[in-house]
A and B are shown apart, each in its own frame.
Chain A
Amino acid sequence: MIIFDKYTKAYIVLILLTIFAYSLGKFELINGSLFIVLIITTFLKGSIIIDYFMELKDVNFKYRLIPLIWLFIVLCGIVIGYYF
C-alpha cells in the first residue's frame, strides 16, 4: 500500500482543486453559487501552500496570520467586486 506523507497529500489536493477550477472555466459553469465555491477552493489552495509548502503551520501564529489575512482580503475583494 502506498502511504503518502502530508506534503504529497497537500500536492494531490492542490492538483485536484486546480482541475476543478479549470473545468468550471472550460465548460462555462461559473454561476453565483459555483463562483463562491471557486473562491472557497482558491482560499483552501492558498492556505495549503501557506501551511505546508511555506511551512507556516507550526510557526508563531502572527507570522501565519499575515498571509492568511492577505488571502482572505484579496478573495473577499474579488467577491465584492464581482457580485455587489
Chain B
Amino acid sequence: MKEKKIIYPPGDAGIWIIIYIELITFGLFFLGFVYSRRIDVELFNSSQLALNQTSGFINTILLLSSSYFVVRAVHSIKTYEIKKASKIATHWLNAAIGFGGIFLIIKMSEFIEKYSEGINLSTNKFFMFYFLLTVFHFLHVLLGMIILFNIKEKTKIQGYNKNDLKGMQTGASYWHMVDLLWIILFPLIYIIR
C-alpha cells in the first residue's frame, strides 16, 4: 500500500508551536477588546476618534510589503544558484528590514504623540487595550527585525541554498505571523466602529 506523504509547514517545528501559542494569546486579547467594548460602546467609539487611521493604513501597507519582500527572498533562494540567489535575497531582506523599521518609527511617533496629549494606559479601557495590543505587537515586530537581520547576515555569506533554507523559512514564518496579527489589529483598533 502506498503511504501518504505528510508535508510539514516550512521552517523548524518549534517556531510553529510558538506561532500557534502567539495566535491564541493575541486572539484572547482581541476578544477581550471586543467584549469590553460592549460594556461601553460610546467610550470606545469616541476614544477611537483620537487615533490616526492614515498612519494605521500606512503601517499595514508597510508590513504587508515587508512580508512580501521576505517571500521574495525565500523564493530567490529556492530558484537561483547560490551566488545569485544570496545576492538577490539579501536585497529583498534589506528592503523588508527597512520597511519594518519605518513601521516602528511611525508606531513610536504615534505612542509619543499620545503620551504628549496625556493619553496613557490608565486613561480609559479603550486606551488600555490600544497600548497593550499595539505595544505587544510592536515588540514582536522588533524581535522579528532582529531575526530578519540575522537571516540577512547569513544570506550575505551564502549561508542558505535551495537544499538548506530551514533557518530562513523559520524566521520568515515568524515575520508573516506578525503580519497576520496586524491584519486583525488594523480594522479592530482603527476602522470598525
A63 CA to B9 CA in the complex, in Å? 7
Which residue in chain B gives the minimum CB-CB distance to A66?
Answer: B20
A28 CA to B193 CA in the complex, in Å? 9
- When distances are taken between beta carbons in the complex, the residues of chain A under 8 Å from B68 are 7-8, 11, 14, 53
Which residue in chain A gives the minimum CB-CB distance to B5?
Answer: A60
Which residue in chain A gives the minimum CB-CB distance to B48?
Answer: A25
- When distances are taken between beta carbons in the complex, the residues of chain B under 8 Å from A35 are 192
A63 CA to B139 CA in the complex, in Å? 26
Select A77's contact among B30, B56, B179, beta carbons within 8 Å.
Answer: B30
Tally chain B residues at the interface, Cβ within 8 Å.
Answer: 46
**CB contact under 8 A between A18 and B57, given known A11-B64, A63-B8:** yes
- CB contacts under 8 Å to A, within B8-22, are 8-10, 16, 19-20
Q: Does B107 have its Cβ within 8 Å of any Cβ on chain A?
A: no
Q: Across the interface, do A14 and B64 meet the contact criterion of CB distance under 8 Å?
A: yes
Q: Does B1 have its Cβ within 8 Å of any Cβ on chain A?
A: no
B31-39, B80-88, B124-132, B144-152: which one contacts chain A?
Answer: B31-39
A60 CA to B64 CA in the complex, in Å? 25
Q: Does B104 have its Cβ within 8 Å of any Cβ on chain A?
A: no
A63 CA to B6 CA in the complex, in Å? 10
Interchain nearest-CB distance for B125 vs A (Å): 14
Interchain nearest-CB distance for B184 vs A (Å): 6
Per-residue A-contact encoding for B38-81, CB less than 8 Å = 1, 0 else: 10000000000000011011001100110110111001000000
- A residues near B (Cβ < 8 Å) are 5, 7-8, 11, 14-15, 18, 21-22, 24-26, 28, 30, 35, 38, 42, 45-46, 49-50, 52-56, 58-60, 63, 66-67, 70-71, 73-75, 77-78, 81-82
- B residues near A (Cβ < 8 Å) are 6-10, 16, 19-20, 23-24, 27, 30-31, 34-35, 37-38, 53-54, 56-57, 60-61, 64-65, 67-68, 70-72, 75, 169, 173, 176-177, 179-180, 183-184, 186-188, 190-193
